[in-house]
Amino acid sequence: MHRTCTSCGSINRIPAANLHQTGRCGRCKTELPLASAPIDVPDVAAFDDIVSHARVPILVDFWAAWCGPCRMVAPEVARVANDRAGQLLVLKVNTEELPELARRYRVQGIPNFAVFRGGRLVHQQAGAMRAPDLARLVDTARAA
């Protein structure tokens, strides 16, 4: 994955295992901020890399652009990503662009939220949720 330096604009490659941490720009050495927004998953390989190497829990939002409830919960998902920056990663998987991931995790209705820990799916739930409920979903899965 990549993170753009806010100081010099340089694009920095961040290994999946370190996405939850701050880092330093390879060019200007300025501190790179935490991932405080949902990460749009570009392809299946990136998804698999992040899920298998992340050192923190991952909340995945399976969504589609045509889905009204998905658009309604997007600010709630972003709020969880911001509030829990450094403690978890939030991924957004567009089911129209990556249908193979939707099939793999048997996503039948969207929005659909999945929590991964240690490379494994630990909880999955369909339906719109508010930020506190999403955070609780992650906390429950973390304790399991």
Distance of CA 52 to the CA centre of its chain: 13
The residues annotated with a catalytic role in the active site are 67, 70
Q: In whole angstroms, give the CA distance from residue 16 to residue 53.
A: 6
The verdict on whether omega for the bond into residue 111 sits within 30 degrees of 0, i.e. cis, is yes
What is the distance between the alpha carbons of residues 74 and 124, in angstroms, rounded to a whole number?
17
Among candidate residues 141, 19, 140, the one with its CA nearest the CA of residue 81:
19
Distance CA 39, CA 87 (A): 14
HSE-up of residue 106 (Cα within 13 Å, Cβ side): 4
Question: Do the bridges between strand 31-32 and strand 23-24 make them parallel or antiparallel, or are there none, so unpaired?
Answer: antiparallel
